[in-house]
């Protein structure tokens, strides 16, 4: 009797960004001996996304300084990068994916790390606008920089006052552009923070010469010579040589949808990042997953979520039974201000602000639901971020009076309520 | 140019040569286990924690205020702890020994 050589199992990953790349390396670390194939439509060697709106935009320090992993590391770990290749469909029954050129790649395990793409709002004339870009990829940044390099006048309109819009505003100011931010809500960062934080960032940008306008609903973009005119519903018009759109994202869920996987506000996965098909996992921005700490399903857009879920999926594929239960965290850098956030503030009914006596630019916002601390936003105050992390994890009752009093030394022991 | 030695948790000793950039970037480029650098080096993730050999502490100087605060997230932190994305490579580091904290 001749023994058949056992074929090595194949793990196919769609999406080679924070989630996909971290997953591939984590899977090797878990001891997976099969093949790992990492597909991405983006032809660039995978890079960090957060700097795109921050230092990579303002300093142009080179994409090579911002790679997720050096090229040799993929070779060394035998992770095969298939860059510039788009996956057009997948078949969970036949267990294969189909590429744009018609090629078919079978898999034993499939990981969807397809992330998200920018949402382009239905504004009249948006498709014909000159020099209008979202900001999600290295190519987007290259386009933006090129317009600024070539143009004599540098009037920029940013549509959307969320993190990406505001970070982009800060970076483009550094490059000497004249920047206007148009936000549809009554305040910037309305979706993600308390009014106190919105006010701080509004003033910060104003102090750096950014014109921030809120309650501005952009309804049309019209050509104006070599530039554009951006029209708002209240009749105001802004000239723009360059327009950057940062109004949110759309999850890349079409492949999963078409393959019949369960979809909610993203691709639904269980605590080990498994989809409704037991050979298919999903990780990162594209997932809708349960957060045990908050007792509900969430969809997150953060490096933390991408990296931690990647590790969970790798452990699950290696036969362990991991549970994804990390407390979410996030950061944003604008000018010389560092914002760090921990937890999920949604559903809060009370906000406490702690201002540090010695430094007015250093403060933190604490979100409570009654006595339960949900989240902390810390501005130039890593200590608040760290204490917040510990207190949310620990679930202890907090003495709010002590917390809000800047003369009380900022220490864990001082913030705990004496009553049990 | 500086020779930098990392001792990882699985007791591997890796000596690398660096000329510029951060110690974290050098470690990630060479796959030093336990240095992840998830935030890309902006002091936001604390996944680049090392213990500097006591006799080498003068080469790096102590951690900055934000670093010290962030290090408190790790039970493993002590007076020799640094987030190595905050250490720039220069000749001054030559011969330094760093023990990866996690
Ligand atoms: C400008 C900017 C700034 C940010 N700043 C921060 C920050 O400061 N802190 C923070 O925590 N997070 C930040 N984020 C969010 C963070 O970058 C994302 O959460 C993270 O990139 C998610 O990783 P992911 O791998 O899940 O998805 P993505 O990064 O979206 O990657 C998905 C990949 O899948 C590929 N893909 C999708 N479909 C296909 C297909 N069919 N075939 C082939 N390839 C496909 C895409 O090309 C893409 O490369 C920022 C994001 C942006 C855009
Ligand atoms: S790399 Fe994130 S803190 Fe050093």
Burial group, residue A276, by CB count within 10 angstroms (0-12, 13-18, 19+): middle
A183 and A215 share a domain? yes
pLDDT tens-place string over residues A27-79: 999 999 999 999 999 999 999 999 999 999 998 778 999 999 999 999 999 99
Chain A residues in contact with B40 by the CB 8 A cut-off are 48, 50-51, 66
Q: Which two tokens stand for residue A72?
A: 């040799």
* In-domain check, residue A103: yes
| Reported pTM | 0.97
A267 and A297 share a domain? yes
pLDDT at A91: 97
A100 and A42 share a domain? yes
Q: How far is B25 from chain A (nearest CA, A)?
A: 8
* In-domain check, residue A172: yes
* Closest to A218 in 3D by CA, of A133, A123, A126: A123
Chain-chain contact of B40 with A51 (C-beta, under 8 angstroms): yes
Q: How many domains does chain A have?
A: 3
Residue A49, chain B, CB below 8 Å: the answer is no
A80 and A173 share a domain? no
Find the domain containing B81 and state its range.
Answer: 2-100
A368 and A379 share a domain? yes
A134 and A228 share a domain? yes
Q: At residue A2, does pLDDT exceed 90? A: no
A302 and A233 share a domain? no
pLDDT tens-place string over residues A127-164: 999 999 999 999 999 999 999 988 877 899 999 999 99
pLDDT tens-place string over residues A229-252: 999 999 999 999 999 999 999 999
Q: Note whether A161 and A188 are within 8 A (CB).
A: yes
CA distance A177 to A195: 28
CA distances from B91 to A98, B16, B27, B59, B95 (A): 51, 13, 17, 10, 9
In CATH, what number is assigned to the domain containing residue A25? 3.50.50.60
CA-based end-to-end distance of chain B: 27
Q: Whose CA is nearest to atom 41 of ligand 1?
A: A87
A131 and A220 share a domain? yes
The ipTM value here is 0.96
In CATH, what number is assigned to the domain containing residue A340? 3.30.390.30
Chain A residues in contact with B14 by the CB 8 A cut-off are none
Burial group, residue A387, by CB count within 10 angstroms (0-12, 13-18, 19+): buried
Q: How far is the CA of B25 from the centre of ligand 2 (A)?
A: 10
Q: Note whether A307 and B38 are within 8 A (CB).
A: yes
CA distance B84 to B96: 12
Q: At residue A202, does pLDDT exceed 80? A: yes
Q: At residue A166, does pLDDT exceed 90? A: yes
* In-domain check, residue A323: no
Find the domain containing A274 and state its range.
Answer: 10-117+250-317
CA distance A80 to A72: 11
* In-domain check, residue A420: no
Q: Note whether A121 and A137 are within 8 A (CB).
A: no
Q: Which two tokens stand for residue A334?
A: 């604008």
Q: How far is A90 from chain B (nearest CA, A)?
A: 30
In CATH, what number is assigned to the domain containing residue B16? 3.10.20.30
A36 and A113 share a domain? yes
Q: Identify the domain boundary among A317, A347, A363.
A: A317
A234 and A259 share a domain? no
CA distance B59 to A398: 41
Q: Which residue out of A37, A98, A113, A114 has the highest number of ligand 1 atoms within 8 Å of its CB and is therefore the one to mutate?
A: A114
Q: Identify the domain boundary among A247, A262, A288.
A: A247
CA distance A123 to A217: 10
Q: How far is A331 from chain B (nearest CA, A)?
A: 7
Q: How many domains does chain B have?
A: 1
Band (pLDDT 50/70/90 cuts) for residue A3 is low
Percent of chain B at pLDDT > 70 equals 100
A47 and A67 share a domain? yes
Residue A53: DSSP 8-state: G
Q: Identify the domain boundary among A317, A349, A365.
A: A317
pLDDT tens-place string over residues A262-293: 999 999 999 999 999 999 999 999 999 999 99
Residue of B nearest to A66 (CA): B40
For ligand 2, whether the C-beta of B64 sits within 6 Å is no
A155 and A167 share a domain? yes
Residue B77: DSSP 8-state: -
* Closest to B21 in 3D by CA, of B46, B4, B38: B4
Q: Which residues of B touch A (CB under 8 A)?
A: 21, 25, 28-31, 36, 38-40, 42-45, 65-66, 69-70, 72-73
CA distances from A34 to A44, A94, A106, A272, A283 (A): 25, 19, 13, 20, 20
């Amino acid at each position: 009797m001749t023994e058949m050589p056992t074929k090595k199992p194949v793990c196919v990953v769609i999406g080679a960004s924070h989630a996909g790349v971290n997953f591939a390396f984590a899977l090797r670390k878990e001891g997976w001996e099969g093949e790992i194939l990492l597909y991405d439509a983006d032809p660039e060697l995978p890079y960090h996304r957060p700097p795109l709106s921050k230092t990579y935009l303002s300093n142009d320090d080179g994409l090579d300084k911002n790679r997720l992993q050096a090229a040799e590391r993929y070779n060394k770990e035998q992770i095969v990068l298939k860059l510039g290749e788009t996956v057009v469909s997948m078949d969970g029954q036949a267990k294969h994916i189909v590429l744009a050129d018609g090629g078919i790649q079978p898999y034993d395990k499939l990981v969807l790390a397809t992330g998200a793409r920018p949402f382009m709002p239905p504004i009249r004339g948006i498709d014909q606008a000159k020099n209008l870009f979202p900001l999600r990829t290295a190519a987007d940044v290259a386009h933006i920089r090129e317009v600024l390099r070539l143009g004599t006048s540098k009037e920029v309109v940013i549509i959307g006052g969320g993190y990406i819009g505001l970070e982009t505003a800060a970076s483009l100011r550094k490059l000497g552009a004249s920047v206007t931010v148009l936000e549809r809500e009554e305040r910037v960062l309305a979706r993600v923070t308390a009014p106190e934080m919105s006010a701080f960032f509004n003033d910060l940008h104003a102090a750096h010469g950014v014109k921030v306008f809120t309650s501005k609903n952009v309804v049309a973009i019209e050509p104006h010579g070599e530039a554009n005119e951006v029209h708002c519903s209240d009749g105001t018009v802004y000239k723009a040589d360059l327009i950057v759109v940062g109004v949110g994202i759309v999850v890349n869920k079409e492949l999963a949808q078409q393959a019949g996987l369960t979809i909610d506000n993203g691709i639904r996965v269980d605590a080990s990042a498994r989809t409704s098909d037991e050979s298919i996992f999903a990780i990162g921005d594209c997932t809708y997953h349960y957060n045990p700490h908050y007792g509900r399903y969430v969809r997150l857009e953060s490096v933390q979520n991408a990296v931690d879920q990647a590790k969970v999926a790798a452990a699950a594929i290696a036969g362990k039974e991991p549970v994804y239960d990390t407390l979410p965290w996030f950061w944003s850098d604008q000018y010389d201000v560092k914002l760090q956030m921990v937890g999920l503030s949604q559903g809060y009914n009370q906000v406490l602000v702690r201002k540090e006596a010695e430094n007015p630019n250093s403060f933190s916002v604490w979100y409570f639901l009654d006595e339960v601390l949900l989240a902390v936003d810390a501005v130039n105050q890593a200590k608040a971020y760290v204490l917040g992390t510990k207190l949310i994890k620990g679930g202890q009752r907090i003495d709010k009076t002590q917390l809000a009093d800047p003369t009380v030394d900022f220490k864990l022991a001082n913030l705990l309520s004496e009553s049990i | 140019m500086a020779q930098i030695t990392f001792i990882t948790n699985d007791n591997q000793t890796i000596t690398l040569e660096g000329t510029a950039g951060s110690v974290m970037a050098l470690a990630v480029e060479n796959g030093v286990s336990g240095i992840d650098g998830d935030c890309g080096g902006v002091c936001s993730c604390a996944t680049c924690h090392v213990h500097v050999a006591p006799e080498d502490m003068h080469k790096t100087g102590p951690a900055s205020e934000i670093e010290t605060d962030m290090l408190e997230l790790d039970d493993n932190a002590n007076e020799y702890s640094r987030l190595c994305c905050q250490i720039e490579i220069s000749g001054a580091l030559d011969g330094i020994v760093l023990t990866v904290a996690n």
